[in-house]
Each structure stands twice: as C-alpha cells, then as structure tokens.
Chain A
Amino acid sequence: MAGSRLDPWLGSYASRARSMSASEIRSLFAVASRPEVVSLAGGMPFVQALSVDDIADSVAAMIRTKGAVALQYGSGQGDTTLREQIANEVVAPVGISAHPDDVVVTTGSQMALDLVVRVFCDPGDVVLVEAPSYVGALGVFRAYECDIVHVAMDEEGLSPNALEDAIAAVIASGRRPKLIYTIPSFHNPAGVTQGPLRRTQILEIANRHSILVLEDDPYGLLGFDGPYADGAAPRAMRADDSQGVVYLGSFSKTIASGLRVGWAIAPHGVREKLVLAAESAILCPSNFSQLTVSDYLATQPWTDQIKTFRELYRERRDALLESLEAMMPRGTSWTVPEGGFYSWVTLPEGLDSRAMLPRAVAALVAYVPGTGFFVDGTGTESLRLSYCYPEPDRIREGVRRLAGVVESELTLVNTFGSAGHHADSGQQTPSPDVA
C-alpha cells in the first residue's frame, strides 16, 4: 500500500531540485525579521538614507513624460539611454571603458550571473570560486549542476598560487575550468579586496589557461577606508582585460535593491548570447525600473548619494570593529573591510557557527554561518557579519549579544570537548528579504 507524500509532482522534479528542502537553519532566519533581533545576517543596503521624496518626484516625472515606454515591453538588452549612462558614467570610476552596446541590463546582477552560467556551463563543468564565496552565486552554479571548486583566499583575496594549483588539479583530472568567479572588491562574505598586482596575477593565470573571468562588483563604489578612503574605487579587472572578463554590476547597493536593476558588460560574442538568453528568460528587463534608474542618474546627485552611503557604512563598520575588539572572547578574529558590507569572523577553536546559531537567535542576534558560503561543508569555524543595515548602536548591542553567545558556547564546548551536532542540510542562508 502506497502512502501519501503530500506532493503529487514528486516524481517529476528535475534532479537539481533534490536539494531544495526545508532547513532548520533557514527556520531560524525567520526570527531575524523581528525587530527585537539585531540582524547582522542579511546584506540589505540602508535604503532609508535615500531621499524618498526626491525619488518620488523623479518617478512621477518619469511616468508623466515616458509612461507609455515605461509601462511597455522593451529591449532584451536593456534601455539604450540607461546603457549609455552605465557605459559612460557609472563604470568610469572603476576604470572601465565600454561601449553602450557592450552592456546588457538585467534584473539585478543576480540575473546577469544566471545568464552567464546558462550560456557557458553544462552540467559537470568546473567553476572555480573563492573560499568562501557569495551564496547567491553558489546557488546559480548549483542550479546549473556545475562542479564547484573552492580556491583559497588570503588577506588580499583570491590566492594566485592556490588558483594555479586548483587549475592544475582540474586539468590533471582531464577537465578544464570554464569560469573563475571572483568578487575582487570588498568581498562578500570575506570583506577583503584584491590589490592591483593581485588582479594582474589572476588575469595572467586566467589568460594563460584560457579561462573566462566572471568579475562580480556590486560594492566597488562603496570603498571608505585605506586606499579607498577618499572615494577612489578599486580598478576593475575588466578595465585591463575587456576580452577575458565579464563584468557584473548593480544599482542595488548604490541606489536601491528594490529596483532590481543590474548589468553585465561582456565581450561582443558573449554579449550576443546573453541578450538571447535574457530574452528567452524574461523577454526584457523592467522598463519601469530601468527608466526610474535612468532618470535618477540624470536628475539626482547620485554620486553625492554614494558618498553618503560610503560615510554611513564606514561609521557602521567602525561600530562593528570597535565592538568586536572590545567584547569578543580571546581567540576570535575578523577581517577589516575597506568598503562594502561584511566582515568575516573566525571563532575560537572548537566552535561551530552553524550549531551555535539557535543560541544566537534565542539571544536575539543573527548572523550567517560560514557553511553557507561553501559547497563542501567547510566554514564551520567562521561566520559573516553584515554592518550595512543596523544603526551603530544596534550593531554594538548585537555584538554584545553575540559575544555572550560565543562565551556560552565556549563553556559548553569546554565541558563536552566537541562542537555541536548539525544534521541539517538544505539552504543555509537567509532569504533576500531577511535582514
């Protein structure tokens, strides 16, 4: 006698859907949306710093003058004016010189990432990613059934030596890596930045092995310390190699994530395929959102707004680092980001960030366990803290709570001589709406 599995389509799902399941960890993130919880988990930009009135005026003017276009289908490649603005203005600070025809506008850069993987990767193809890497990218690579290989990082990001070794190992197995996926500036989640020499070395390796570099740069304009303290942006890898790099950019962090407008800048042949892939996926990106962004860029002081964001995030980064220094137990270490949203924290020896999360949520503080940024189960000793959304006082309170949680966990581990058990699989990071 057959029972019921409560899903009549169970036998019809693609194999890639097998890992899509409920997760104990994800259930904990549901609590993080409550105001009592200091969420250092989600990477939500602080859109409250925008002038809503200015945006409302801009949108109202746009819809009055271009409503018929904004509410209609558009080009699969994206609005021409917006592509001109991206090519001529937005990517200039990172050193990219591009023609508007090189730009493909997408529904957030996440979609650009999806399109690139769609046109390059067959199931089983090897993709090289940093260790740790952006969870959203790992999700895309998994969805296309790529073989994801992590490559070690150091304090300056992706390690060239480790990259050489990883490529050699893949080649020795009779395969060739298809992509090197990297976030060179203000890395998510590691919070580190590749210097100019490091970028040159990685490009040289990629060129020598004919591997396309996928450069993800959502935070490039949000530097606030070190060489980037005066607003200078790290030079993009694409600026020095227009044929070997696909560059992904986004307005999510520099204007507003709710608009869902990003882009890819790609070599001619790649761009043609991305446009066709975009058309098959969504026909075209939202004209409404594109024209909103385009008018905002044309009529609002957007570079001043980015300066505001940079100062705001610097203040929050400082609150985080000062609190970590003052409160975290000995044996804890963390990266010092010079821009972006994140610091990568390494816990005292023996602790497991994933097993510790329920205790943290009960103490009303949330973070993302390090395991979410790996596909191989590693990262247990680390966690990602985001400082972008909570105000500085809340960040300090969050770290105070987290320090108490780590102290308690240390006591437990000292008693039992072991980190906690976690049998849970499934999605290990919060949904996009949870900060």
Chain B
Amino acid sequence: MTPADMHILVLAGGLSAERDVSLRSGRRVAEALRDGGHIVEVADIDSGLLDRLKSDPPAAVVPLVHGAAGEDGALRDVLDALNIVYVGSTGDACRAAFDKPAAAARMRSHGINVPPSVALPHSTFRDLGATSVLDAFASSLGLPLVVKPTRGGSALGVSIVNDIQELSAAMVGAFAYGDIVMLEQYIRGVEIAVSILDDGTTATALPAVEIQPDAMFYDYQCRYTAGATEFFVPARLDVSVIESASEIALAAHRELGLRDWSRADMIVDSAGQVHVLEMCVAPGMTETSLYPQAVIAAGFDLGDITARLVRTAIDRAKS
C-alpha cells in the first residue's frame, strides 16, 4: 500500500478544555503525514462523525483528542465497535491510564515509584469539614502539595500549594475541572518526559526531554507559549538516571497495557530517584509539545513515525 492509498483520518477537537491543544496537535500531525504523501483529513468529534466513519471508513484513525473526550477510553471503544482501525491504546488501557488515582495505584502495585497521593470527592470535604480534611492531608503528605483534577491534562486546574492557607482556593480551582481532586506530595527535582514509541514488537523509549519552565511549575502557559520553557534534549542527568527513567517509562507503558505511543511525565529527585507523575495516552503534538521534540531528538520524523504506527495498527487489525 503506497502512502497515497492510505486514507488517514486525524481526530482532533472535542468538547474538553483541551480542545484548542487538540486542534493544534491534529493539524501538526496531519501536516506531517501529508508531507509523507498520505491522504489525510482532520475531523472533530461531533454528531456527524460516526456516519462519516461508516460511510467512508478510513484506512486508520489517529485520535488526537485530548482530555476526557479522547483519553478516557470511550472514543476508542466506539471505534472498536465500528471495526475502525486506530493508532493508540485500547479503551481499557486508556481508562487505566487516564484516571490518575487508578493509574497511580496500578503503577505502584507493579513497583513503579509514584508520589503518595489521595483522591477525594467534594462530598468528603462537605461531610467531614474541609479544614479538618485538608489539615489531615497537609500533615500526612506534607507541604508543598500538588492539587489537581484526577482526569485531564495540560496542567489545567493544577496548583502547587506551599501554604495551607492557599489550599482551599486550590481545591475550588481543581474542582472546576472535575468531580474528584487529587492531593499529591510535591516532589522537588528535575522534571522530565520520556516518550514511548511502540511498533507492536518493540517498545522504545525516546530521548528524555528535560523541562525547565519559567514559572513555578510547567503550567498551561509554559506548555503552550513558545519561549516560556527551556527544554534540554537529552536531559542533563547522569546516563544511568536517564536509563533508569527510560526503563521505568517502558514499564509503566507495559503495565498499563498501553500501545503505539505514550508519554511518561516524571520527576527525578536530588537522590536520582525517578517518580512517575502520570502517563499520557494521547500525547500532545503541538509545536511546543514534548513528544515531537523527543521524536526529532531521536533522529526521526513525526510524519514517518505516525505513518509507521498507522501501518502497525492496520497490521494489528488484519491479524
């Protein structure tokens, strides 16, 4: 099958707060694929999508919808039900990885180091008293604390709280993005991202990208404003630490049952210990995103990589 014979549909957009990021990811990947001679269309997630998929099934779909609409597994389940080939993890694997407490528990059970955390609904605070509950977890987890919604990416709704007085506002801010909020021990260290490329037979860790944001943490603004973060590829860490991080990222990818591509967001503490913050099943592909930087650092081309994964997905479906 030549590239021109392979009609690829990139899904981007959706109704989540990460719609804009997703549209940018979709446009970039579509452009990269077109550069390789592929026939590519970009479609949003809307009520016309399924009819379109049924009437004109593409050779494969590349879902780049971020947030719950694209990463909670539901979209992948629908694609499976329609026998549509797609790049990326299955619905079950997405569910395991997208929900941060579930993913953390699973990784922890497989010996992967994740920061201590709790995830609580609003009702816990309402019923037991917010101050008492927050005091308890500020004591048990210690300050600073990372406060974040349990579902979603791009650091939306995330705060780092240094003072217990700031905790309530951070909770309200995080609850604006979801019904359950996670309080996570803040790990001081070097933030890195390890991207995984998995062609079905071999999963490879791409070069680790070190992230040094201008702000206190790698927030939305630092993620999507060119210039607001300095990136180092490969990360300025001992080779042994990078190797360890790569192995851990691969282990997390494997244990969560992910496939094709994923990204591990990590912190390396001062002792060189690697902590996995979360695994991303639909890595951002924007001009400032981490996965494409890793692809380029590895000497690959984003379009070639995506096309390779499309072929992997097609072969997988045939088998």
Contacts and interface: CB of A to CB of B under 8 A. Distances in A.
B177 to A, nearest CB: 5
Contact of A6 (B17, B131, B288): B288
A3 interface: yes
Interface string B222-245: 011111111111001000000000
Contacts of B122: 411-412, 415
Given A4-B230, A22-B224, A413 B172 contact: yes
Contacts, number: 134
Contacts of B59: none
A26 B236 CA distance: 33
B176 A358 contact: yes
A139 interface: no
Interface stretch (A61-69, A391-399, A417-425): A417-425
B305 interface: no
Contacts of A31: 15-17, 19
Contacts of B226: 5-7, 10
Contact of A21 (B15, B23, B221): B221
A361 interface: yes
Contacts of A355: 169, 172-173, 176
Contacts of A3: 210, 212, 230-233
B171 interface: yes
A22 B223 contact: yes
Contacts of B231: 3-6
Chain B interface residue bracket vs A: 35 or more
Interface in B124-144: 125-126, 130-131
Contacts of B219: 24, 423-424
Contacts of A426: 221, 225
Contacts of B19: 27, 30-31, 34
B176 A356 contact: yes
B172 A416 contact: yes
Nearest to A9: B227
A308 interface: no
A10 B176 contact: no
Given A27-B18, A361-B17, A415 B126 contact: yes
A356 B156 CA distance: 13
Given A416-B130, A416-B168, A426-B221, A30 B229 contact: no
Interface string A341-359: 0000000000000011111
Contacts of B17: 24, 27-28, 31, 358, 361-362
Interface string B20-62: 1101000000000000000000000010000000000000000
A412 B175 contact: yes
B170 interface: yes
B221 A412 contact: no
Contacts of B157: 358
A34 B15 contact: yes
Interface in A3-19: 3-7, 10
Given A6-B227, A21-B228, A27 B21 contact: yes
B247 interface: no
B215 to A, nearest CB: 8
Contact of B159 (A10, A22, A412, A423): A423
Interface string A24-48: 1011101100101100000000000
B166 interface: yes
A358 B177 contact: yes
B89 to A, nearest CB: 24
A357 B220 contact: no
Given A1-B232, A358-B17, A420 B224 contact: no
Contacts of A421: 159, 166, 169-170, 172-173
B255 interface: no
Interface string A181-214: 0000000000000000000000000000000000
A299 interface: no
Given A5-B231, A22-B223, A421-B172, A30 B15 contact: no
Nearest to B134: A416
A329 B261 CA distance: 47
B287 interface: yes
A424 B221 CA distance: 7
A415 B130 contact: yes
B176 A425 contact: no
A303 interface: no
Contacts of B18: 27
A23 interface: yes
A316 to B, nearest CB: 25
B12 to A, nearest CB: 11
Contact of A10 (B15, B20, B212, B227): B227
Given A358-B157, A412-B175, A418-B168, A24 B230 contact: no
Contact of B220 (A6, A420, A424): A424
A297 B73 CA distance: 56
25 contacts: A4-B232, A5-B228, A5-B229, A6-B226, A10-B227, A21-B228, A24-B219, A27-B20, A27-B21, A28-B17, A30-B19, A31-B15, A31-B16, A31-B17, A355-B176, A409-B176, A415-B126, A416-B172, A417-B130, A417-B168, A420-B173, A420-B176, A421-B173, A424-B219, A425-B221
Given A3-B230, A418-B168, 8 more contacts: A5-B228, A5-B231, A21-B228, A27-B156, A30-B19, A415-B130, A419-B172, A421-B173
Interface of A: 1-7, 10, 21-24, 26-28, 30-31, 34, 36-37, 355-359, 361-362, 364, 409, 411-413, 415-426
- Closest 9 interchain pairs by CB? A30-B20, A22-B224, A420-B172, A421-B173, A418-B168, A7-B226, A421-B169, A416-B168, A420-B173
